[in-house]
């Protein structure tokens, strides 16, 4: 069904409603209208990395882990599987009349905010720090969720619009101040891609203000950019209880009726919360018109018709047996394996399981189900922790010893007497083992959403880059045994790994993220060499927070790989494999670029193919991610360093040489001026074709020199 067809049907149906009925439909928990045979509908459902909070579902790796795959086709396929399960669950439970929260087909995902600061607790919900990577992966997930059928399989939602990435503790009253250049260069591109290219059906406003206006009633963001410049035709939803913040925290209105009226008039169609209960009072007070209410209601019913909720759809026959089926569970493990990033390997991995008699597995996340799942997760019927994955994989002749070693963290009210109650056991396990797998990290109780976790530190945000004290004491003690150690890091954000980098007996470091319900199997596959690691960091791992601006400073100066002034501990885009590749050659066809001329609008509509020849110099099959970065050599408007402008995952057999073609958009040659407009401001550019960033630190770590391509426009 086309949008025009759906809108006409919506206009007809909404035209039959009374004012009271129309107003009732703008709540997230829309009641039934029995006289028109309209069932109740709850707009709130979640699908960050699987159908969430509604019982059984495949729990895929957390979003930040999916970003580490650098694979838009894989991310799209995850979206297809997630939306298939959402349809299967909807079909089944609606037959029983259950239309409650988390049961609908409007999925409030993906989160395409930029992970600009490693302290942000919700950063692991995002697709990383780079606007290009986030744009491509976010749009891919939207396409996967929505499908390409006659109807939408589910309706995706790009959130949180916009300029939103902490701090969590003050998000309800905070004003994020960003220049027009930073907004258009960093904070808005992923939303633009989701709206203009992927045709996302919904956009969610953030809690905070941006440059003075609340994001759920923002003239520039909602009216000028979203509906105006980008031509968005879907519906706009508030973050939950965000409109209440207008009068309680932002103080931009005086009453709840004024808050409801302001949000509605600026284009917020559905309220997650209870503020729109007061719309009729706002109408009676002359703050809104019936036309305002009708317009929003038509937006919402257009979406419902596009989902086929009244006329039926090709997805109505999807059976419940698709929920957490074997195909989806197996794919979740595959994604987890391709997401794990090998940061360090002193010629130690992979481990020959037949040559090791005793493996010690130590750490608070080693046998933790919570550490597998991140936040906004479903309930799996089966979990495989790292300990269990190793136990399942080794043979009968290998002994696996285990100790929790320490608590995940020490609660402030916990007696210090129990601080080291597992440490002696951990030392015994290490001393009796040939090698140790040390599993440190966090979980959703230590980094997550304000008010949504049991976080005891900073309302969901991290206060620093350090592992909790209890874990650092464990790490130091185990390192001091001198046994060879593989460190597995189960976090969704940057941590300080200097202690592991400096320890000679920490032979390898694997960033395992929150790898999904059966992520332990994927880890074991990498540990023992069944699979070669191939993930790349979608974030920068910094040496210290001292090099970053204040958390509340939304200027991009000094932040992320594009603007940072110091050397990274581990750079964005970095990740090792068990093989060795070389970039033999690279070139670009600039014919389309030159034909487009110097007009920004013309350049935006064309692309240039970069051809890269890459060779697997090793004797084992691997996967690599070819990355293209661009540096503007002549413009004062350019980012400080360089920017990712293309990437492609490629499988290479032992000794294989392959030609990879990567289209680079003409947009990549444009800069943003101080007004946020794209301009061609230079004629000299350098492209770098490799498997990492072209900076000195990246090249040193991965040992692969990128090939430079000079381009003159």
- Which residues participate in catalysis according to the annotation? 239
- Other residues' Cβ atoms within 10 Å of the Cβ of residue 325: 17
Using DSSP bridges, classify how beta strands 399-403 and 358-362 pair: parallel, antiparallel or unpaired.
Answer: parallel
CA atoms within 13 A on the CB side of 563: 21
Helix, strand, or coil (residue 27) = strand
Tell me the sheet residues that pair with 611. Answer: 587, 661
CA atoms within 13 A on the CB side of 552: 9
Contact (CB, 8 A) for 631 and 685: yes
- Other residues' Cβ atoms within 10 Å of the Cβ of residue 681: 18
Burial of 587 (0-12, 13-18, 19+ CB in 10 A): middle
Helix, strand, or coil (residue 411) = coil
Structure tokens at 145: 């969720």
Contact (CB, 8 A) for 610 and 628: yes
Nearest to 115 by CA among 645, 460, 539, 549: 539
Which DSSP string corresponds to 448-490?
S-TTSS--SSBTTB-SSSSPPHHHHHHHHHHHTT---EEEEEE
CA distances from 604 to 592, 593, 596, 667, 673 (A): 11, 10, 9, 5, 16
Helix, strand, or coil (residue 80) = helix
CA atoms within 13 A on the CB side of 379: 5
With the C-alpha atoms ordered 575, 578, 580, 586, is the resulting torsion angle positive or negative? negative
Helix/strand number for the chain, H first, E second: 22, 23
Contact (CB, 8 A) for 628 and 607: no
CA distances from 220 to 226, 259, 453, 552 (A): 8, 18, 33, 22
Helix (H) or strand (E) holding 29: strand 29-30
Burial of 18 (0-12, 13-18, 19+ CB in 10 A): exposed
């Amino acid at each position: 069904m086309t949008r025009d067809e759906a809108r006409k049907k919506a206009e007809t149906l909404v035209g039959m409603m009374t004012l009271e009925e129309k107003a009732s439909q703008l709540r997230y928990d829309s009641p039934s209208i029995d006289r028109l045979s309209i069932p109740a509908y709850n707009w709130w459902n979640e699908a960050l990395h699987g159908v969430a909070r509604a019982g059984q579902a495949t729990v895929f790796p957390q979003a930040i882990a999916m970003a580490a795959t650098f694979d838009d086709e894989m991310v799209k396929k995850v979206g297809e599987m997630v939306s298939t399960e959402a349809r299967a669950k909807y079909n089944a439970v609606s037959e029983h009349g259950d239309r409650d929260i988390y049961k609908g087909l409007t999925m409030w995902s993906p989160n395409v905010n930029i992970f600009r600061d490693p302290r942000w607790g919700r950063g692991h919900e995002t697709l990383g720090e780079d606007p290009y990577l986030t744009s491509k992966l976010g749009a891919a997930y939207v396409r996967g969720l929505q499908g390409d059928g006659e109807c939408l399989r589910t309706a995706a939602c790009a959130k949180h619009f916009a300029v939103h990435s902490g701090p969590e503790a003050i998000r309800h009253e905070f004003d994020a101040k960003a220049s027009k250049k930073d907004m258009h260069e960093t904070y808005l591109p992923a939303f633009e891609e989701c709206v203009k290219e992927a045709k996302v059906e919904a956009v969610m406003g953030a809690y905070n203000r941006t440059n003075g206006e609340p994001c759920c009633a923002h003239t520039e963001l909602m009216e000028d950019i979203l509906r105006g410049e980008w031509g968005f035709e879907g519906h706009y939803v508030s973050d939950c209880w965000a409109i209440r913040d207008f009068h309680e925290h932002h103080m931009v209105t005086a009453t709840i009726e004024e808050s409801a009226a302001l949000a509605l008039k600026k284009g917020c169609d559905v309220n997650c919360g209870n503020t729109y209960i007061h719309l009729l009072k706002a109408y009676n007070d002359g703050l809104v018109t019936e036309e305002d209410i009708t317009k929003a209601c038509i937006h919402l019913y257009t979406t419902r018709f596009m989902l086929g909720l009244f006329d039926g759809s090709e997805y109505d026959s999807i059976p419940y047996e698709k929920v957490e089926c074997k195909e989806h569970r197996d794919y979740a493990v595959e994604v987890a394996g391709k997401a794990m990033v090998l940061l360090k390997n002193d010629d130690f991995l992979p481990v020959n399981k037949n040559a090791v008699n005793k493996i010690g597995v130590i750490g608070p996340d080693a046998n933790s189900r919570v550490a597998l799942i991140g936040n906004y997760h479903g309930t799996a019927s089966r979990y495989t922790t790292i300990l269990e994955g190793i136990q399942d994989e080794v043979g009968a002749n290998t002994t696996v010893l285990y100790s929790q070693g320490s608590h995940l963290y020490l609660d402030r009210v916990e007696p210090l007497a129990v601080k080291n109650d597992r440490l002696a056991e951990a030392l015994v396990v290490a001393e009796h083992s040939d090698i140790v797998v040390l599993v440190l990290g966090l979980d959703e109780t230590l980094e997550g959403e304000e008010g949504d976790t049991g976080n005891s530190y900073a309302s969901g945000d991290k206060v620093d880059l350090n592992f909790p004290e209890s874990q650092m004491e464990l790490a130091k003690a185990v390192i001091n045994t001198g046994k060879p150690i593989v460190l597995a890091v189960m976090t969704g954000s940057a941590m300080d790994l200097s202690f592991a980098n400096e320890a000679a007996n920490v032979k390898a470091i694997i960033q395992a993220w929150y790898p999904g319900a059966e992520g332990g199997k994927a880890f074991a596959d990498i540990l023992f060499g069944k699979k070669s690691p191939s993930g790349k960091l979608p974030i920068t791992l910094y040496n210290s927070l001292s090099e970053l601006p204040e958390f509340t400073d939304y200027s991009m100066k000094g932040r992320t790989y594009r603007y940072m002034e110091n050397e990274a501990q581990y750079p964005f885009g970095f990740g090792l494999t068990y093989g060795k590749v070389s970039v033999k050659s690279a070139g670009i066809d600039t014919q389309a670029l030159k034909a487009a001329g110097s007009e920004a609008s013309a350049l935006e509509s064309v692309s240039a193919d970069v051809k890269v020849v890459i060779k697997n110099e090793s004797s084992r099959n691997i996967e690599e991610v070819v990355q293209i970065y661009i540096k503007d050599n002549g413009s004062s408007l350019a980012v400080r360093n360089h920017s990712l402008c293309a990437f492609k995952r490629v499988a290479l057999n032992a000794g294989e040489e392959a030609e990879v073609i990567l289209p680079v958009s003409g947009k990549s040659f444009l800069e943003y001026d101080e007004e946020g407009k794209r301009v061609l401001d230079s004629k000299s550019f350098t492209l770098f074709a490799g498997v990492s960033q072209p900076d000195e630190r990246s090249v040193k770590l991965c040992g692969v020199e990128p090939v430079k391509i000079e381009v003159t426009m």
